[in-house]
Amino acid sequence: YQVLLIKQSTADIIIDDSLGYGRDFDGIGGLSGGGATSKLLVNYPQEQRDQILDFLFKPNFGASLQILKVEIGGDAQSTDGTEASHMHNSWEENYARGYEWWLMVEAKKRNPNIKLYALPWGFPGWIGQGTRSPYANPGVLADYIVRWINGARVHYNLTIDYIGIWNEKQYDITYIKSLRSVLDQRGFQDVLIIAADEKWEISADIKKDTDLAKIVHAVGCHYPGTLSSNDAVSTGKKLWASEDYSTFNDEIGAGCWARILNQNYVNGLMTSTISWNLIASYYEDLPYYRDGLMTAVQPWSGNYVVQSPIWVTAHTTQFTSIGWKYLTHGNGVGKLPKGGSYVALVSPAGSDLTVVIETMTHDHSICIRPALPKYTVKAQNVTITLKNHFVNITHMNVWFSKLSFNGTPSTVFIKQNPLVFVSGQANLSLGLDEMITLTTLSEGVKGSYPPPPSSKPFPLPYKDNFEGYSLSEEPFMLAPQIGTLEVVKSQNTSHGQVVRQMVLHAPLKWCPITLSFPYAVIGDHNWRNLFIEIDFEIPDVNATDGVFVAARVNEGGCEAFIAHGIYFFAFPDARYIVANDLARTKVLSQGSLPYGKGWHTLSLLVQEQKAVGAYDKKGLFSIDIPTIPQSGFGAVGTDNFGLADFDNLYIATHE
C-alpha cells in the first residue's frame, strides 16, 4: 500500500532537463504611468524615498524587479493623471519634465541590468497633423518617439530596451515599420519593438507579414487571463503579459499576482509579466486606488506600506534573472494534481535551478480582469523528483509565503530549512494560498527598514510659491488631470518662479471621453470646508480664456470632465462664474469683475452650505451652495487649453 502511494506521488513534480528547455524567461516588471501613478513618490523625504526604491528595484532585497516600464508622457489624461510630453509643441523639446526620467535613473542605480520599456498613452495634438490620429503621418510619430529614446540616452545615459506602439489603441503596421527604420537610422538598432499592448490580435498580421514578423520582438498582451491565443503561439514570437494585475494590493491582490506570475507561463507561455502599476503613488479616490505592488501616498508624512505583492514578486525575481530558461511542460512546468501550479527555471549555464510553486485558491486570487473560471485547490503532499542534470542535488533552499485571510498577518517570504533530496526525491506538504520557492541559489534576502513614520493627514495650511523647484519640474502636490503644469520663470521678477499650464491644444486622447478645462487636484478627497487661494496671470500670447480655483472636487482620471465641486472661474473679459461642475453646466452665480492685465488673486472659501469668493482680496460673492458634492480635492485650472501662470497657492481649512 505504501509502495503504491509513493509510486503515485512520484509523478507530482518532475524536474528534468533531458528533453531540453522551454522558453527564455524575460523578466517581471512594474509599470509607472498610464498614468501619473508615481506622482506622489517624487516628493517623499529622501530617506523613505530611497527605502521605497530599494523595495522595488534593489536586487535581493524586495520585489527586485527585472523590468521597468514607463509612460512616454503625452499631455493627456492616462488613468490617474496626465504626464508631460517632451514636446508639448512641434517647435520645442525638453527632457527635464515629469518624473519618469528620475525613476528610470533610480532604478538603474540599484540594478544596472534592469530593462527599460516605454510606451505612449496619449500624444500632443500636433502629432495628429490636423487630424485626431497619431498615425496621420507615421514619420512624425516615429520621429517624436525616437527623440524621446534619444533624450533618455543623451540627457540621462539611459538605454531604452523596449518600445511599444500605443497603449490599448489600434496599431498601425506602416507606423511600426517606420518606427523600426527611424530607430535603425538613428543608431537604435538594439531597441526592440513590443506590439501591440492590447490583446493578441496583432498575431494574425505577424503571421501574414514577414517584414512585420521580423521587427516585432514580442507580442505584448494586456490582462490575458493567463491564456494566449493559438495565433499568438503560432507566430513563434515571445509572448508577454505586457500589462497585468491592476488589482487592489491586499492579500487577494497578492494571490492574483502569485497565480498569474506562474500561470501566465504554465497556461499561456508568457515569459514576462508587468504589473500595472509599479507603485500606487496617487491620491486616494483617483481611479484604481492601490492597484500597485506597494503603496506610497503620503510624501508629507513619509508613511508608506510594503504590501504582500512585493514579496510575491520576490519569490521569482530574487532567484532568477532575465535569460534563465523555463523547463518544458511536464518536466518542470505544470499544474499540481490537486490544484496550483509550478514553474522550474534554470540558469543559462544549466547549473542553477529555481522552482516556484503556488497554490492560490480561486476566491483568494481574483484579479480585476478577466473573469476567473471556477477551480478548486486542496491541501496536498507532492513528491518532487529531480532528474538528469539535477539528480545529484542534495538540498534546495526554501522560501515560503502563506497568505492569510482570517485577519492574522500573512507569512511572507520567510526562509525555511533547506529541503533535503534523497536520490533526487523530496516530499513537500502544500497548504492553501501558499507560495514556495525551491532554489539552489543562496542569496535571497527579505529586505527591511525600520518602520516608516506614521500616517498623517495632508498638512494644512499649505503654501507653495514654487521657488524651490528646478525649472520644468511639475509641482509636487498638484496632480494634473487635464493639461500639464510646469515650473517656469515669470517675466515679472517679483513673482520669481511660477507654475504654468503648458498645453496649448487638446491632446490626442487616450481616455474614451474628450477632456477639456485643464486642472490639477491637490490634497485630500475628504476635504469639506476649505479656503483655497491662488495668484494668476493670463499672458497675451497662446493664452487660455480663463482660470479657476475650486473646492470639493470629486473626480479625476478619465472621468475628470464630469467633476463636480464648487468652481470659481475668472475671465479676462471681466466676468466671473461660480459653478457646481467643471463643465459649467450648473452655474450658481455670475457677474462682472474689475479685470486688468497682470497678476490677480482668486480666493474661495467653502464652508458648510456657503461659498464666499474674493477677487484681488475684495469680496465678490457670497452664495448658498448645493449639498453635493459634500467633499473633495482642492483644484486649480484653466477654462480651456492655453497658457496661464499661477503663483502663491495657499490652502487652509476653515472650521
What are the catalytic residues? Answer: 168, 243
Angle at 245 between CA 430 and CA 48, to 5 degrees: 95
By CB under 6 A, tell whether 242 contacts ligand 147: no
User: 3-state class of 104 per DSSP?
Assistant: helix
Query: How far lies 518's CA from each of 33, 319, 583, 628, in Å?
Result: 19, 46, 11, 22
Rounded Cα gap, residues 395 and 417, in angstroms:
10
- Give the shortest CB-78-to-ligand 147 separation in angstroms: 6
- Give the shortest CB-558-to-ligand 147 separation in angstroms: 8
DSSP label at residue 20: -
Looking at the Cβ atoms of 245 and 621, the one nearer to ligand 147 is 245
Compute the CA torsion angle 82, 84, 87, 92 (nearest 10 deg).
130
Instruction: Give the contact letters, 353-392, x = binds to ligand 147 (CB under 6 A), - = no.
Output: ---------------xx-----------------------
Question: Grid coordinates in use for 267?
Answer: 497556461
Looking at the Cβ atoms of 79 and 603, the one nearer to ligand 147 is 79
- Give the shortest CB-112-to-ligand 147 separation in angstroms: 28
Residues 164-223 that bind ligand 147 (CB under 6 A): 167-168, 222-223
By CB under 6 A, tell whether 32 contacts ligand 147: no
- How far from the centroid of its chain's Cα atoms is residue 99's Cα? 12
Which residue, 474, 27, 372, is CA-closest to 218?
27
| Options 25, 126, 148, 276; binder of ligand 147; rule CB under 6 A | 276
Rounded Cα gap, residues 634 and 546, in angstroms:
18
By CB under 6 A, tell whether 281 contacts ligand 147: no
Looking at the Cβ atoms of 28 and 221, the one nearer to ligand 147 is 221
Rounded Cα gap, residues 522 and 635, in angstroms:
6
By CB under 6 A, tell whether 246 contacts ligand 147: yes
By CB under 6 A, tell whether 399 contacts ligand 147: no
- Give the shortest CB-387-to-ligand 147 separation in angstroms: 41
Q: Nearest residue to ligand 147, using CB?
A: 34
Rounded Cα gap, residues 72 and 121, in angstroms:
7
Beta strands 216-222 and 192-198, pairing class = parallel
* Helix (H) / strand (E) containing 212: helix 210-215
Instruction: Give the contact letters, 483-512, x = binds to ligand 147 (CB under 6 A), - = no.
Output: ------------------------------
Rounded Cα gap, residues 228 and 353, in angstroms:
26
By CB under 6 A, tell whether 600 contacts ligand 147: no
Rounded Cα gap, residues 549 and 520, in angstroms:
10
For 77, residues 6+ apart whose C-beta sits below 8 A from its C-beta are: 35, 122, 481, 482, 509, 510, 511, 515, 557, 558, 560
By CB under 6 A, tell whether 282 contacts ligand 147: no
By CB under 6 A, tell whether 243 contacts ligand 147: yes
By CB under 6 A, tell whether 83 contacts ligand 147: no
Task: Name the H helices within 112-188.
Answer: 138-156, 173-185
Beta strands 425-430 and 380-386, pairing class = antiparallel
Residues 441-470 that bind ligand 147 (CB under 6 A): none
- Give the shortest CB-97-to-ligand 147 separation in angstroms: 19
By CB under 6 A, tell whether 599 contacts ligand 147: no
- Give the shortest CB-224-to-ligand 147 separation in angstroms: 11
By CB under 6 A, tell whether 513 contacts ligand 147: no
By CB under 6 A, tell whether 55 contacts ligand 147: no
| Options 162, 288, 342, 531; binder of ligand 147; rule CB under 6 A | 288
User: 3-state class of 55 per DSSP?
Assistant: helix
By CB under 6 A, tell whether 552 contacts ligand 147: no
By CB under 6 A, tell whether 262 contacts ligand 147: no
By CB under 6 A, tell whether 247 contacts ligand 147: no
- Give the shortest CB-164-to-ligand 147 separation in angstroms: 11
- Give the shortest CB-369-to-ligand 147 separation in angstroms: 5
Looking at the Cβ atoms of 223 and 561, the one nearer to ligand 147 is 223
The answer to whether residues 436 and 450 touch, using CB atoms and an 8 Å cutoff, is: no
Neighbours of 189 (CB within 10 A): 10
Looking at the Cβ atoms of 277 and 638, the one nearer to ligand 147 is 277
Question: Grid coordinates in use for 221?
Answer: 498582451
Question: Grid coordinates in use for 494?
Answer: 517679483
Looking at the Cβ atoms of 225 and 523, the one nearer to ligand 147 is 225
Number of residues interacting with ligand 147: please give it, by CB under 6 A. Answer: 13
Question: Contact positions toward ligand 147, by CB under 6 A?
Answer: 34, 78-79, 167-168, 222-223, 243, 246, 276, 288, 368-369
